[in-house]
Amino acid sequence: MKNFQIIKALTSASAVTNLSKETDAKFIAGGTNLVDLMKKNVTAPDKLVDINTLDLKKIEFLSKKVSIGALAKNTQVAEDKVIKEKFPLLSLALAAGASQQIRNMASVGGNMLQRTRCPYFYNTDMPCNKRVPKSGCGAIGGSNRMHAVFGASESCIAVHPSDMCVALAALDATVFVEGPKGKRKIEFTDFHRLPGNTPEKDNVLDAKELITSVEIPENNFAKNSHYLKIRDRSSYAFALVSVAVGLDLKNNLINDVRLAMGGVAHKPWRLTEAEKFLKGKTVSETTFKQAADLAMKEAKGYGENNFKITLGTNAIIEALTIASSK
């Protein structure tokens, strides 16, 4: 790892100012992704701004919404009593990610900004448009078992690896950020982006902007929520495919529904068409099957990952079935 300078930020404004002064500086929160990438020389900042001193760790229940500080730890959020009661989907998704040791270190903001886990991205001897723009994509025509089936482009087919983000996309969250030009908010589903021909950008955050918090509006999905994660081993592995479901049921009628998938695209993949189809219908296996087929209609495999299309369809049906029978 290249040596670097590190300073502690005392306020979010000074964190942003400190970062803005440098060409090659980065914020560091838990460090579980950044330190890993620095060890592999995938990224080699000259300076780190440690933001752990900032007052951004609180989980606040306000009227009709919850606000989660960007530095709240993954464990802290997953095990928060009120989060478990009102937003169990978020808690389940967080608990399905990484390991307890990593969740104790990882922050909410860092989780959103973790880079792709495409093995070629990590291997500096291989071509990768995301790491070195215009160098080519090793995964297209290469080993791509873990890769995207939705929204990929000719320059990148990687997936965003976060579980938490799939739940936040389903739950209509909003991201609050602070940058050199001031504060702004971004709808969670607009936060991460598709690769297009600029796969080096995972999201719409400016390099000098700091995530301060995430807000989730209250909802009626608590009772019938589920996060289903399918992986190569039963724990401590990235998702092959995951599904986040929130159902608002009246008897067997689907009043409202939220559906999102992980492990299938460059961003958490919200299934809006399937949601529209399900709204107003009654719970049944046939309805769930139709919704799943609709959701996977546009899916496209790249060889090794073709299996994700069938797996995805079945995972949607399974997740809806589990959520509806809770």
Partner 1 sequence: MAVKKTNKNNEVHDDSNSRRDFIKKSGLFTALALAPPSLVMASESKWDEKIASYLETVPLSIEINGTKHNLNIEPRTTLLDLLREQLQLTGTKKGCDHGQCGACTVHVNGERILSCLSLATMQQNAQVVTIEGLSKGKKLHPMQEAFIKNDGFQCGYCTPGQIMSGIACIKEGHANNRDEIKEYMSGNICRCGAYHNIVDAIMEVKEGGKLI
Binding site for ligand FAD (CB under 6 A): 26-34, 36, 51, 70, 97-98, 102, 105-107, 109-111, 113-114, 161-164, 210-211, 238
Query: Using CA of residue 137, residue 239, residue 103, residue 178, what is the dihedral sign?
Result: positive
* Candidate list 55, 61, 100, 185; residue touching partner 1; CB under 8 A: 100
Min CB(133)–ligand SF4 separation in Å: 9
Helix ranges, 80-178 (H): 81-86, 88-95, 100-105, 108-113, 119-122, 164-170
| CB contact burial 16-39 (16+ within 10 A = b; e otherwise) | bebbeeeeebbbbbbbbbbeebbe
Residue closest to ligand FAD, measured at CB: 110
Report the DSSP beta bridge partners of residue 227.
Answer: 244
Min CB(76)–partner 1 separation in Å: 10
Based on the shown chain and the rule CB under 6 A, indicate whether residue 116 belongs to the binding site for ligand SF4. yes
DSSP letter at 96? T
Min CB(205)–ligand SF4 separation in Å: 18
Distance CA 3, CA 10 (A): 23
State which residue, 31 or 136, has the beta carbon closest to partner 1.
31
Based on the shown chain and the rule CB under 6 A, indicate whether residue 128 belongs to the binding site for ligand SF4. yes
- Among 315, 267, 308, smallest CA distance to 288 is for 315
Choose the contact partner of 198 out of partner 1, ligand FAD, ligand SF4, none; CB within 5 to 8 A by kind: none
Min CB(51)–partner 1 separation in Å: 10
Distances (CA, A) of 94 to 3, 77, 236, 259: 32, 8, 12, 16
Based on the shown chain and the rule CB under 8 A, indicate whether residue 134 belongs to the binding site for partner 1. no
State which residue, 27 or 221, has the beta carbon closest to ligand FAD.
27
Min CB(164)–ligand FAD separation in Å: 6
* DSSP codes of every residue in 10-23: SSHHHHHHHHHT-S
- End-to-end Cα spacing for the chain: 48
* Candidate list 43, 52, 67, 203; residue touching partner 1; CB under 8 A: 52
Distance CA 316, CA 294 (A): 11
Residues near ligand SF4 (CB under 6 A): 116, 118, 120-121, 128-130, 137-139, 156-158, 199
Residues near partner 1 (CB under 8 A): 1-10, 14, 18, 28, 30-32, 35-36, 38-40, 48-50, 52, 75, 98-102, 104-105, 234-236
